[in-house]
Structure 1
Amino acid sequence: MTLHPNRRHSLALLASLAATACLPALAAGARTPMEVWKDPNCGCCKDWVVLMEKAGFAVTVHDTGNNAVRAKLGLPQRLGSCHTALVGGYLLEGHVPAADVRRLLKEKPKALGLAVPGMPVGSPGMDGPEYGGRKDPYDVLLVTRNLMGSEVSTQVFTSHRS
């Protein structure tokens, strides 16, 4: 069957519009889901969430604090920070940079996740104007469980030295 040139043009235009209309849905579907538990009043946590959203994560926030979820996930208090997240089956604790999260999701190590203990100045979310450009060195730790699952150990995943 041969289509009239105008009909062919109309079908091509319709197909183009349909594809364009689907782009936002495809883009939204490409965002990696992330769930975050934080204190409702913590400004640095909010800043970190904004950075994760800008990096392409679809973030759901629970303003209920993070101590209970951190304990439930088996992360020791010594590795704690002000917020805890889950992404791709991994735990994230504290101000982990988006590039390190992407690397974790790409490499898929056998691990509990990543942690930046404390709140190092200069890490994502702890880098606002109130810190005057200060950047303290810090490590992102890969957190693993022993074979029995009762103890965790860490090794440096990435060192951030500016």
Structure 2
Amino acid sequence: MPQINRRLLIGSAAGLALTGSARAQGRGSRQLAVYKSPTCGCCDGWVVHMRQAGFTAAVHVVADPGTVRRARGLPDALASCHTGVIGGYAIEGHVPAADVVRLLAERPEAVGLTVPRMPMGSPGMETPDGRKAPFDTLLVLRSGETRVFARHNRAA
């Protein structure tokens, strides 16, 4: 009889572990691949921001991060200095972690998100005196069109 209880206990534990694993996968992975040039320091700041928000970031140093951006379907007009890839989406530039979390939760039909250029005060572009410029995170649709996904650093 003790043998049966042990098997039942082990089987139940394995079932619970598999259920938890399936739930974690259903919530979406926090595995982020980041492609950046070897000389960009602000990219490193963005990676720190994403890691602090609970993402696991694998950084890949490449000669031209633009090749990754273009291969993922993001036009040069929406470029910044690094490209992330997560959950089938491209994340271009200094996109706040909260916007990536929302993207992964909503799962829109899109190429991904971008914060074009390098706005002052965006994640990784902080200044010692705390100055921040207003900026928008754009959702890039498969058609190439964009729409505002989130607004940041705007006066209330």
Q: Which position in structure 1 is the counterpart of 2:102?
A: 103
Match of 1:90 in 2: 89
Please list, as runs of the form range in 1=range in 2, the aligned pairs for 1:1-162 lying within 5 A after superposition: 32-64=30-62, 65-129=64-128, 132-146=129-143, 152-162=144-154
CA positional deviation for 1:161: 2.6
Give the distance between the partners of 2:153 and 2:48, measured in 1 at CA: 23
Q: Which has the larger radius of gyration?
A: 1
Contact 2:29–2:87, Cα closer than 8 Å, also in 1? no
1:30-72 deviations in whole A, cap 9, x for unaligned? 9610000001111100000011111111101111141111111
**Other structure's SS at 2:91 match:** strand
Match of 1:9 in 2: none
Equivalent residue number for residue 11 of structure 2: none
2:145 partner SS: strand
Gaps in structure 1 of 5+ consecutive residues: 3-25, 147-151
State the Cα deviation string for residues 9-37 of structure 1 (Å, max 9, x = none).
xxxxxxxxxxxxxxxxx9xx996100000
Percent identity at matched positions?
A: 54
Greater than 4 Å deviation, 4+ residue runs? none
Q: Distance in 2 between matches of 1:34 and 1:157?
A: 20
Structure 2 portions without partners, runs of 5+:
3-20
**Aligned residue pairs, count:** 133
Aligned twin of 1:5:
none
State the AA in 1 paired with 2:47: V
Contact 1:48 1:125 in 2 (8 A): yes
SS at match of 1:145: coil
Matched-pair contact (CA < 8 Å) for 2:92–2:116:
yes
By how many angstroms is 1:106 displaced?
A: 0.4
For the aligned residue pairs, the C-alpha RMSD in angstroms reads: 2.2
CA distance in structure 2 between the aligned counterparts of 1:101 and 1:84, rounded to whole angstroms:
13
Q: CA deviation at 1:93?
A: 0.2
TM-score w.r.t. the length of structure 1 is: 0.75
Report the Cα distance in structure 1 between the residues aligned to 2:90 and 2:32, rounded to whole angstroms.
Answer: 10
Q: Distance in 2 between matches of 1:31 and 1:69?
A: 20
Shift of 1:134: 1.0
Q: Please give the alpha-carbon distance, in whole angstroms, between the structure 2 residues aligned to 1:134 and 1:159.
A: 16
